[in-house]
């Protein structure tokens, strides 16, 4: 009985981590874990640095906006470029520039000559780099593993992201307390070297490299990608839901502090526990999706709806333990949804358009962050924290409803066209 259980557990673990059997992806995953941990260290250190220098919420919000605004503006055009050039080379450049940005921050902070305007400029730089880096890394996954393992690889990427989100801030907190802010930027710069070295060590013969022909202008290439996304129901329906979930649902960084302060009336210790609960749920969600094959539309819509329902329930909770349970559940639903969405978009996109489709994904998911954060802030200021969370949950459900209506109408239209019209008596 014990041996049978161990065998089943071993089989399950192998299934959940099967993408790691591919040499290139294994290099990529391990190096990404190191690099993303460094990125989270820098995020925490930068926020602390801005608050220390200015004691201004506006300055902190401006830094966030500058990091995400270029993603909103340039990611669609970046998708066209990514489809035309080798993705590995693009990522080497973006990661190298990111490393330089981190080292510059380290030097300026260590020398105690850093100013707010320099932070703004470097934040804008990393935002521009991420406009190319994020869709590039998303599309590159499919070049390292076969189609049947893409879903598993995307889920493992979500797992490493959330593991790094747990580890990075903890290391940064200890580092800042012991030796100050500057070392976090240094360690982040060094962490980028892991992914850069890994990319150089990859076996080119095992990459499914695909680039589109440069037979169209940048504008024509962009139009081709958007047109495909709009006219392909399997992609359009998922993007409709993503617009609502990405804009109104994924505002954890804005929502959680407000929930702690104004609903649970807690302090930093409560905030830490709730953040950990969300992170634990996210890792569980990643493992849940890792064992699946290609996700179905019903699976994606179901977790999107569950996400909205849990947010509504969260707005009604006043109990600390119940809130923890709901946040763990929200973490599970959020990662199961977004990892499945990512996988589905990649699997339903032709290889020559994958960079552009993932550019759309990044624009909607990450580029909408400033819009969602502003919406959250204004609604919370106007109506209060509880109504804000409730409204955002309802808007997520509205998005799911619109996605379902859209796909039903498309299916009906297709079926109607396939049935020959008959008039009169034969």
In a domain? residue 30: yes
Q: What is the pLDDT of residue 395?
A: 95
Domain final residue pick, 141, 176, 201: 201
Place of tokens 């065998």: 7
In a domain? residue 124: yes
Q: Does 179 share its domain with 288?
A: no
Q: Does 73 share its domain with 114?
A: yes
Contact between residue 141 and residue 153 where contact means Cβ atoms under 8 Å apart: yes
User: What is the C-alpha separation between 284 and 159, in angstroms, rounded?
Assistant: 8
* Mean pLDDT score, 305-316: 95
In a domain? residue 62: yes
User: What is the C-alpha separation between 303 and 405, in angstroms, rounded?
Assistant: 17
Q: Does 234 share its domain with 189?
A: no
User: What is the C-alpha separation between 218 and 83, in angstroms, rounded?
Assistant: 11
* Mean pLDDT score, 31-49: 89
pLDDT at 10 over 90: no
In a domain? residue 422: no
pLDDT at 7 over 70: no
* Mean pLDDT score, 184-205: 94
CATH of the domain at 176: 1.20.1250.20
pLDDT at 416 over 90: no
Q: Does 22 share its domain with 169?
A: yes
Q: What is the 3-state secondary structure (H, E, C) of 398-410?
A: HHHHHHHHHHHHH
The angle that helices 369-382 and 385-418 make with each other, rounded to 10 degrees, is: 130
Q: Does 221 share its domain with 320?
A: yes
pLDDT interval class at 400 (50, 70, 90): very high
Beta strand segments in 252-340, E: none
Model pLDDT for residues 132-156, shown as the tens digit of each residue? 998 888 889 888 998 888 888 888 8
Contact between residue 233 and residue 297 where contact means Cβ atoms under 8 Å apart: no
Most confident of 2-16, 155-169, 219-233: 219-233
Q: How many structural domains are present in the chain?
A: 2
Q: Which comes out higher in pLDDT, residue 92 or 82?
A: 92
Contact between residue 395 and residue 368 where contact means Cβ atoms under 8 Å apart: no
Q: Does 161 share its domain with 232?
A: no
User: What is the C-alpha separation between 376 and 338, in angstroms, rounded?
Assistant: 20
pLDDT at 90 over 90: yes
Residue 412 contacts by C-beta under 8 Å, 6 or more apart in sequence?
none
Q: Does 284 share its domain with 253?
A: yes
Neighbours of 205 (CB within 10 A): 7
Domain final residue pick, 176, 201, 226: 201
What is the CB-side half-sphere exposure of residue 365 using CA atoms within 13 A? Answer: 21
Q: Does 238 share its domain with 340?
A: yes
Place of tokens 């969300």: 278
Q: What is the pLDDT of residue 424?
A: 40
Helix, strand or coil for residue 1?
coil
Distances (CA, A) of 138 to 201, 346, 360, 380: 20, 9, 11, 33
CA neighbor of 310 nearest in space, from 364, 389, 257 = 389
In a domain? residue 423: no
pLDDT interval class at 374 (50, 70, 90): confident
* Domain limits for position 191: 17-201
User: What is the C-alpha separation between 28 and 145, in angstroms, rounded?
Assistant: 11
CA neighbor of 237 nearest in space, from 418, 399, 75, 110 = 399
CA neighbor of 101 nearest in space, from 180, 43, 165 = 43
Q: Does 237 share its domain with 124?
A: no
In a domain? residue 1: no
Domain final residue pick, 168, 201, 234: 201
Q: Does 179 share its domain with 254?
A: no
pLDDT at 291 over 80: no
Helix, strand or coil for residue 115?
coil
Q: Does 244 share its domain with 176?
A: no
Q: What is the pLDDT of residue 215?
A: 63
pLDDT interval class at 423 (50, 70, 90): very low
User: What is the C-alpha separation between 372 and 368, in angstroms, rounded?
Assistant: 6
pLDDT interval class at 57 (50, 70, 90): low
Q: Does 24 share its domain with 136?
A: yes
Q: What is the pLDDT of residue 119?
A: 94
What is the per-residue DSSP string for 350-365? -GGGHHHHHHHHHHHH
Helices and strands: H and E segment counts in the chain: 16, 0
Model pLDDT for residues 237-267, shown as the tens digit of each residue? 999 999 999 888 887 766 777 788 788 888 7
User: What is the C-alpha separation between 399 and 230, in angstroms, rounded?
Assistant: 16
What is the CB-side half-sphere exposure of residue 386 using CA atoms within 13 A? Answer: 9
State whether the Cα torsion 251-253-258-264 is positive or negative: positive
User: What is the C-alpha separation between 104 and 110, in angstroms, rounded?
Assistant: 10
In a domain? residue 425: no
Residue 371 contacts by C-beta under 8 Å, 6 or more apart in sequence?
247
In a domain? residue 68: yes
pLDDT at 58 over 80: no
């Amino acid at each position: 009985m014990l041996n049978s259980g161990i065998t089943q557990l071993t089989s399950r673990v192998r299934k959940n981590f099967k993408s790691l059997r591919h040499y290139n992806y294994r290099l990529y995953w391990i190096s990404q874990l190191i690099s993303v941990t460094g990125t989270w260290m820098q995020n925490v250190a930068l926020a602390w640095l801005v608050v220390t220098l200015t004691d201004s919420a506006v300055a902190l919000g401006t830094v966030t906006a500058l990091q995400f605004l270029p993603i909103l503006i340039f990611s669609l055009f970046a998708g066209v470029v990514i489809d035309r050039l080798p993705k590995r080379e693009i990522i080497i450049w973006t990661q190298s520039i990111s490393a330089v940005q981190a080292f510059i921050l380290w030097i300026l902070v260590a020398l105690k000559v850093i100013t707010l305007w320099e932070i703004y400029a470097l934040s804008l730089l990393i935002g521009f780099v991420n406009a190319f880096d994020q869709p590039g890394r998303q599309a590159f996954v499919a070049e390292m593993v076969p189609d049947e393992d893409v879903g598993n690889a995307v889920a493992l990427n979500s797992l490493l992201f959330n593991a790094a989100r747990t580890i990075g801030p903890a290391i940064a907190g200890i580092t800042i307390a012991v030796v100050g802010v500057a070392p976090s930027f240094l360690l982040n710069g060094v962490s980028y070297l892991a992914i850069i070295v890994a990319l150089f060590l990859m076996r080119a013969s095992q990459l499914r490299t695909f680039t589109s022909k440069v037979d169209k202008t940048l504008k024509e290439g962009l139009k081709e990608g958007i047109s495909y996304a709009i006219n392909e129901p399997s992609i359009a329906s998922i993007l409709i839901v993503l617009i609502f979930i990405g804009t109104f649902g994924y505002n954890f960084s804005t929502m959680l502090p407000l929930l702690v302060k104004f609903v649970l009336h807690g302090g930093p210790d409560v905030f830490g526990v709730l953040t950990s609960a969300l992170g634990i749920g996210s890792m569980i969600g990643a493992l849940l999706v890792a064992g699946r094959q290609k996700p179905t539309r019903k699976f994606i819509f179901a977790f999107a709806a569950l996400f909205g329902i849990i947010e509504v329930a969260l707005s009604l909770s006043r109990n600390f333990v119940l809130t923890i349970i709901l946040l763990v559940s929200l973490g599970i639903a959020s990662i199961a949804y977004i990892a499945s969405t990512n996988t589905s978009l990649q699997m339903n996109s032709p290889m020559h358009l994958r960079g552009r489709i993932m550019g759309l994904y990044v624009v909607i998911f990450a580029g909408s962050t400033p819009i969602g954060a502003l919406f959250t802030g204004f609604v919370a200021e106007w109506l209060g924290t509880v109504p804000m969370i409730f409204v955002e949950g309802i808007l997520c459900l509205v998005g799911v409803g619109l996605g379902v209506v859209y796909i039903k109408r498309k299916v009906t239209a297709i079926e109607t066209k396939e049935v020959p019209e008959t008039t009169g008596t034969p």
